[in-house]
Amino acid sequence: MRVISPIDLAIAAHAIDNGELVIVPTRRWYMLCCDAANAAACRRIYAAKKRPTAKPLLLVVPSSEAAHQDFVVCHEAQRLIDAFWPGDLAVVLPWKDDADGDKYAAVGRVHALVSQAPDILGRLATMTEARIAATSSNVSAEPGSDEPEPAITVDEVTDFVTTTSSPISILIDGGVCPAAHHLTIVDCSTNTARLVRTGLVHKRALAPVLARAIQEVPAVSNERTQASG
């Protein structure tokens, strides 16, 4: 694994375009990334994390315009995008074209979990030819388990890579990730947005943007959209 500085993002972009795995710092934690259309690379991420394949990865888009190219963006989704992108909120959106759902199956064949990231990951998304699939750098586990939480330091990333023998090509050293918390996830697959998971964007912040109180997705039905991010 090669450790690089954020000023060398072109190296990381080239690696992703070549089907390699790259670990990228965010405000939340270090994210394990690859080309979302590269099925083999996505399988390596699932294997490294011991992640159930039914749980989709996050799709990082370079801009809100890019989301409109590929997805059906309802009015309430647009309000959330305008308010919180680039940032710490992801929305579940339906593909416009079923063929894209097949091409990017690891992020969801019917509905994808989509976000525009700020900072280093966001810049990287604008530099790759590929769309980036991402998830937190840790072994998947149920809440309350003994598995380490997502990595927020380079040392924790190194422990994750060593423990899992993950085939990581590039680690971008961004120092300590200060927030150590999840993305907020909102299901916008219909015209009425529903909260899947509260994270850095609090539920109270969603209400003034939507001009209504937001209802939560029942726990039994939101399992497939709980991507680590």
**Mind listing the pLDDT tens digit for each residue in 123-138?**
999 999 999 999 999 9
DSSP 8-state code for residue 103: H
What is the pLDDT, as a whole number, of residue 226?
A: 57
What is the pLDDT, as a whole number, of residue 180?
A: 95
Band of residue 146 on the pLDDT scale cut at 50, 70, 90: confident
Q: Does residue 61 sit in helix, strand or coil? A: coil
What is the pLDDT, as a whole number, of residue 109?
A: 95
Mean pLDDT of the residues in the chain = 94
71 — phi, psi (to 5°)? -125, 160
Contact 224, 54 (CB under 8 A): yes
What is the pLDDT, as a whole number, of residue 227?
A: 59
Q: What is the number of alpha carbons within 13 Å of residue 186 lying toward its C-beta?
A: 33
Q: pTM for the whole thing?
A: 0.93
pLDDT tens digits, 50-62: 999 999 999 999 9
Sketch out the chain's domains with CATH numbers. Answer: 2-225 (3.90.870.10)
What is the pLDDT, as a whole number, of residue 148?
A: 85
Could you give the CA distance from residue 60 to residue 36 in angstroms, rounded to a whole number?
A: 9
Asked if residue 211 has pLDDT above 80, the reply is yes
Asked if residue 209 has pLDDT above 90, the reply is yes
Q: Does residue 203 sit in helix, strand or coil? A: helix
Could you give the CA distance from residue 19 to residue 9 in angstroms, rounded to a whole number?
A: 16
Could you give the CA distance from residue 205 to residue 213 in angstroms, rounded to a whole number?
A: 10
CA 46 vs CA 33, 39, 140, 161, 169: distances in Å: 11, 11, 9, 13, 16
In this structure, of 99-113, 189-203, 212-226, the range with the lowest mean pLDDT score is 212-226
Residues sharing a CB contact under 8 Å with residue 148, sequence separation 6 or more, in sequence order: 138, 139, 156, 159, 160
**Mean pLDDT throughout 164-174?**
97
What phi-psi label fits residue 175: left (phi over 0), alpha (psi between -120 and 50 degrees) or beta?
left
pLDDT tens digits, 10-49: 999 999 999 999 999 999 999 999 999 999 999 999 999 9
Strands 184-187 and 89-94: parallel
Residues sharing a CB contact under 8 Å with residue 219, sequence separation 6 or more, in sequence order: none
Asked if residue 141 has pLDDT above 80, the reply is no
